[in-house]
Structure 1
Amino acid sequence: MATILVADDDPQLRAWIRRILESSGHQVEEARDGKEALAYLKQAEPALVVLDLFMPNVDGLEVILYLRSCAKPVKILALSANPIDGYNTCRTAEVFGAHDTMVKPFDAATFVQHVERLISPHDEDLG
C-alpha cells in the first residue's frame, strides 16, 4: 500500500480517483489546489503525487518545481486536458520533472496501470 496525494481542483475527479486508488489498496490524501498540495508536501512524503497542471492559487508546474528543488524522491503523475492551441502541457510537465503524464479524460484501468508502474519498487528508470 502506498500513500498517494491527489491534487486537483475538480472535486468529482478527486473522488473518482480516490475510489480507484483505495480499491487498489492505496491510502489517498487530497488537495483542492496547488497551495494545499504544497502545504501537505512540506510535512509529508507520499510515494506518488497525482497532479492536475491547471489549478487555482498555485498550478501544478509550480508544485513540480518545488518537489525538484527540494529533491524529494516523490514520483509525479501529471494530468492535463488536451493540448491548448498546440501547446502540449503534458510535455512541459515532463520537462519540468514529472515522471509520467496522462491526458484527461482517461479510463480507470489505464490510470491504475500508470500508477502501479510509477510506484513499483522495481522501477529504476523513472527516478
Structure 2
Amino acid sequence: MNSRKKLISMIFLTVILFISSNSFIFLFHKDHPNFGIVFRTSLFVVFLYSWALIRLLTSKRFAVSFMDFVNIVYAIGFISNIALAATKISGINVWIVVGMSLIGFIINILISKAARKFKSDMYLSSTITAKK
C-alpha cells in the first residue's frame, strides 16, 4: 500500500475511533446524554482532519506541523475519553471505550510518522521529476 492510501486509511480509522469512543461516553453516561455536543464534536474532528489531510496532499507549507497539531489535540481527546470512561461509566463499557481510545492514540502516533514519510516521498518524487 502506498503512503498516500495508508495515510488516508489511518486518518479515516482514527476519526471513526474518536467519534465512536466519544459517542459511547455520552451514550453510556448515567446522566442525560447531550447529542448536540457529540454531533458538534464529530463535525469538528472530520473538519480538522480533512483540512490537515488536504494541506498535506497538496504540499502546503507547514502541513506536517499542522497534522501533528491535530494529532496532539485528538490524542489529548483520547486520553480525556479514557479518564471520562473510568469515572463516569462502568462495566464492560469502560473497557470498550478504553480499548478504542488506546488504539486511536497509537494510530495518532502512526499518522505523524506516515505524514512525515508521505512528505519526504513527495519531495523525492518532485526532485526526481525536476532532474529529468
TM-score, length of structure 1 as denominator length: 0.26
Q: Point out the structure with max Rg over C-alpha.
A: 2
More helix by share: 2
Structure ranking higher in strand proportion: 1
